[in-house]
A = this chain, B = another copy of it.
Amino acid sequence: MDKLTLEKIANSRLMQGISDVEKMMVCFGAREIEKRSGETIVGYGEKASIVIITYGKATVVSEDYFGNRNIINKLSECEIYGAAFVYSRHEVTSRLIADTDVRAVMLDGEKLHKACGENCADHTRFLYNVVKTISQSCVGFLEKTEHLSRRTTREKVLSYLTAESIKKGATEFTIPFSRQELADYLAVDRSALSSELGRMQADGLICFKRSRFKINNTILNA
């Protein structure tokens, strides 16, 4: 495992405060993988494992039997996928797709359930990091259900954009989605989303160009 890969892994939230990251990789049966843009990194029903993205970007999706795509979230370098499936021992019900060429490290699901037997500080710390990471993604899902629970497209968009604005700490920001992706994230029709965004701009609620948005303070009166 090269220096750079190890560095990316050490930077992931899972490995904060771990003294011997390399040893952990051995413990958890880490193996490096490479995928081309568009390929599936982890598919439905596959053996659960934790994926750490070390290079590139990826999207977590689920699709129903009629091909309706549902975007769950987006992952960048140093971010992880799959922990909730590993530790709940639940079947993998989402799919991880490479947006770009991707390098990643996969930690074996079964090995993650076993401590190293030495009850070492690193394993305890790792478990704590897992708790924190999964909790954060849990709160993230909670936020997404907030958006999805809004009745109109306008309300969904406002809910998402204000949350994003708060996260970025600015009224002007770039979102990580194309139009089609934003539509799939908010579970609305793309063209309907485009129309509504246009109306919202006409109403003075927002300004936007492609994926760059600015929300106006008039938004509070909407």
Contacts and interface: CB of A to CB of B under 8 A. Distances in A.
Nearest to A187: B149
A220 B193 CA distance: 31
Contacts of A3: none
Interface size class of A (residues with CB under 8 A): 35 or more
A137 B138 contact: yes
Interface string A112-131: 00010001000010011011
A145 B146 contact: no
Given A124-B124, A145-B145, A139 B88 contact: yes
Given A84-B139, A134-B134, A146 B187 contact: no
A88 B83 CA distance: 15
Interface of A: prevailing SS: helix
Contacts of A149: 68, 70, 148, 187
Interface in A51-103: 62, 64, 68, 70, 72, 83-90, 93-94
A143 B159 CA distance: 21
A145 B124 CA distance: 32
A148 to B, nearest CB: 4
Contacts of A93: 139, 142-143, 146
A90 B136 contact: yes
A90 B139 contact: yes
Contact of A138 (B115, B119, B141, B143): B141
B70 A139 contact: no
Interface of A: 62, 64, 68, 70, 72, 83-90, 93-94, 115, 119, 124, 127-128, 130-132, 134-139, 141-146, 148-151, 159, 187, 189
Given A86-B135, A93-B142, 12 more contacts: A62-B146, A70-B145, A88-B138, A93-B146, A127-B131, A130-B131, A134-B134, A134-B135, A138-B141, A148-B148, A148-B187, A151-B189
